[in-house]
Amino acid sequence: MKVKTIFFALVSIVVIQSCYYDIESELYPYRCISTDITYNGRIKRIIADNCLSGCHSGVAPTGNLDLSSYENVKAVAMDGALINALYGTNGFVKMPKGTSGLPDCEILAVQNWIDAGAKNN
């Protein structure tokens, strides 16, 4: 009887293990991917989701800073203002204002995009 029980236990373990699989996209639906960042693929969405609504767009943007176009975003990206505002460094208030800031992954994506030349891609 013991042999039969042990055999059944071993077969059960093998069957259970053989049914296990990892599908990375199901296990990690959002991964911090910060390389090969494009303006249209990621940066534009970060800006739209965190900077435009009620602040840096429209007829009277906050701080007279309109981030609704690539050209305007690139200008503040290349002069250092964008990344300083996201980190809250060099005298800049951490943005988005009134929050604890963007997730590190988003800031890293912006930084890598800037380091790659802030291309309109």
DSSP string over 88-101: T-TTPPPSSTTSS-
The answer to whether residue 82 sits within a structural domain is yes
The answer as to whether 106 is a domain residue is yes
pLDDT reported for residue 32: 79
Please identify every stretch of the chain with a pLDDT value under 70, giving residue numbers as ranges. Answer: 1-31
Question: Which domain range does residue 66 map to?
Answer: 32-115
Residue 18 lies in a domain: no
Residue 21 lies in a domain: no
How many domains is the chain built from?
1
Burial class (CB in 10 A: 0-12, 13-18, 19+), 32: exposed
